[in-house]
Amino acid sequence: MISVALEQKELEQQALVQILFEQQFQHSAELVCHAPGRVNIIGDHTDYNDGFVLPAAINYGTTIAASVRDDKIIKVYAHDCDQQTNEFSLTEIVFDQQMMWSNYVRGTLQALLKKHPEINGANLVVTGNVPQGAGLSSSASFEIAILKTFTQLYQLELNGINAALIGQQAENDFVGCNCGIMDQLISAMGQQGHAMLLDCKDLSFEDAPIPDDLTLFIVNSNVKRGLVDSAYNLRRQQCEAVAKYFGVSALRDVTMAQLNAAEKEIEPELFKRARHVVSENTRAVNTLKALKANDMATISAEMKASHISLRDDFEVTTKEMDGLVEMIDSVLGTKGGVRMTGGGFGGCVVALVPNNLVTEVTDIVNRKYEQEFGLTASIYHCTASQGAFR
């Protein structure tokens, strides 16, 4: 089991990255920047359909120590990627097949240069504690940390929404994953102690407090996944096909009544994909209202319905994730909520757990998961953290 206090973890990261920077570059860093990962409480595969999502930034993230250079060279040491160093020029940014992690730096800076061609190079040391490939958005945390670092190094006029758009552009166009805007925007603009209902169509958002008596309880199934190589992009294409059928730009503009009326005219698999998205938008909005009212029974029901929809209609869960949800739900009942979170095909489940049930939920996962599936789960007791640009 993994459970670490916010303050201790962030202080440890800041201290480590400054020590590593001095070791690598023989001088002190000019600044240290941090961007959080995120967990999506409800609203999966709705973001790229211009829909609603309800994420929270979490107290796990990416920390970068940096100093400016007087040339166009970027030299970056990644402590958590086999302690590799990568170097390239801002005048010639190309995809690196050997050090794939460096493409998040390369792509983000390529996108930033389109808005701010005046920036020069930098020495960077990166460390992070977001579990990679778990669905907690280590990539967006990395991108937003880079953007925050260069914003401070070069006093750029860059706000959180524009930073999120640049990070998304880097991931879409350079890295090759057609993600929506959610991950980058919550990493940039999350509010401490709150979840955010984000409208991915117009990028407006509304914060809702997470009650103090609830823990953001995240369990990594340790079933690894890679969104770029998975069926994620296929799911997006399927959603776009249904939107095209209705003559709209995205499924956000399709109602459940319209979808049901056209069921016989749409290929069954495509209908199921669209039904998940349209119904998930409603669940995200309902969950925001329930959070504000501290209505745990409604939150529980909406999260349960979300998981079933992701399992049966969108088909992105795994037997391990389904098993974890069943275990946790057997303890929570209507007192909390649990579902898979992220892109799917492995990764994490998220639960809103009353503080007085955290020990019991932890115990059932530790006792039953390895026994049933032959894997050891990693458990994270999280708090909602502040975004890098908030």
Same domain membership, residue 149 and residue 261: no
In a domain, 267, yes or no: yes
pTM: predicted TM-score of the whole model, two decimal places: 0.90
- pLDDT at residue 10, as a whole number: 75
- In 3D space, the residue among 82, 83, 121, 129 whose CA is nearest the CA of residue 105 turns out to be 121
Question: How many domains would you assign to the chain?
Answer: 2
Same domain membership, residue 295 and residue 347: yes
Active-site residue, 183 included: yes
Domain termination site, one of 165, 182, 207: 207
What residue numbers bound the domain in which 309 lies? Answer: 211-382
Catalytically annotated residue among 183, 207, 313, 329: 183
In a domain, 232, yes or no: yes
Same domain membership, residue 143 and residue 84: yes
Same domain membership, residue 113 and residue 247: no
Q: How many CB atoms lie within 10 A of CB 342?
A: 26
Q: Is the pLDDT assigned to residue 262 strictly greater than 90?
A: yes
- pLDDT at residue 3, as a whole number: 39
Q: How far apart are CA 234 and CA 249, in angstroms?
A: 17
| DSSP result, 301-331 | HHHHHHHHHHHHTS----HHHHHHHHHHHHH
Average pLDDT, the chain: 93
The more confident residue out of 114 and 224 is 114
In a domain, 366, yes or no: yes
Same domain membership, residue 294 and residue 202: no
Q: How far apart are CA 294 and CA 55, in angstroms?
A: 17
The enclosing domain of 64 has a CATH number of: 3.30.230.10
pLDDT band at 177 (very low <50, low <70, confident <90, very high): confident
- pLDDT at residue 343, as a whole number: 82
> Which two structure tokens, joined as six digits, stand for 58?
């979490």
Domain termination site, one of 161, 188, 207: 207
pLDDT, mean of residues 200-207: 95
Same domain membership, residue 149 and residue 44: yes
Q: Is the pLDDT assigned to residue 4 strictly greater than 70?
A: no
Same domain membership, residue 203 and residue 96: yes
The angle formed by the CA atoms of residues 154, 171 and 105, to the nearest 5 degrees, is 40
pLDDT, mean of residues 330-356: 94
The enclosing domain of 221 has a CATH number of: 3.30.70.890
pLDDT band at 228 (very low <50, low <70, confident <90, very high): very low
Instruction: Give the amino acid at 201.
Output: K
- In 3D space, the residue among 281, 275, 256, 352 whose CA is nearest the CA of residue 53 turns out to be 281
Task: Evaluate whether 2 touches 17 at the Cβ level (below 8 Å).
Answer: no
- pLDDT at residue 134, as a whole number: 64
- List pLDDT tens digits, range 56-65: 999 999 999 9
pLDDT band at 1 (very low <50, low <70, confident <90, very high): very low
> Which two structure tokens, joined as six digits, stand for 235?
């799911």
pLDDT band at 225 (very low <50, low <70, confident <90, very high): low
pLDDT band at 185 (very low <50, low <70, confident <90, very high): very high
Same domain membership, residue 130 and residue 102: yes
Q: How far apart are CA 139 and CA 183, in angstroms?
A: 9
Same domain membership, residue 70 and residue 198: yes
- In 3D space, the residue among 256, 352, 348 whose CA is nearest the CA of residue 303 turns out to be 352
Same domain membership, residue 336 and residue 260: yes
Q: Is the pLDDT assigned to residue 156 strictly greater than 90?
A: yes
- pLDDT at residue 255, as a whole number: 98
Q: Write the burial class of residue 126 (CB in 10 Å: 0-12 exposed, 13-18 middle, 19+ buried).
A: buried
Same domain membership, residue 256 and residue 201: no
- pLDDT at residue 145, as a whole number: 98
Same domain membership, residue 291 and residue 173: no
311 — alpha (psi -120 to 50), left (phi > 0) or beta? Answer: alpha
> Which two structure tokens, joined as six digits, stand for 56?
């929270």
| DSSP result, 95-142 | --SS-TTHHHHHHHHHHHHHH-TT---EEEEEEE-SPTTTTS-HHHHH
Q: How far is CA 220 from the centre of its chain?
A: 13
Task: Evaluate whether 31 touches 131 at the Cβ level (below 8 Å).
Answer: no
Domain termination site, one of 161, 190, 207: 207
Work out whether strand 214-220 and strand 378-382 pair parallel, antiparallel, or are unpaired. Answer: antiparallel
pLDDT band at 230 (very low <50, low <70, confident <90, very high): low
In a domain, 389, yes or no: no
In a domain, 388, yes or no: no
Q: How far apart are CA 219 and CA 369, in angstroms?
A: 11
- pLDDT at residue 347, as a whole number: 86
pLDDT, mean of residues 279-284: 98
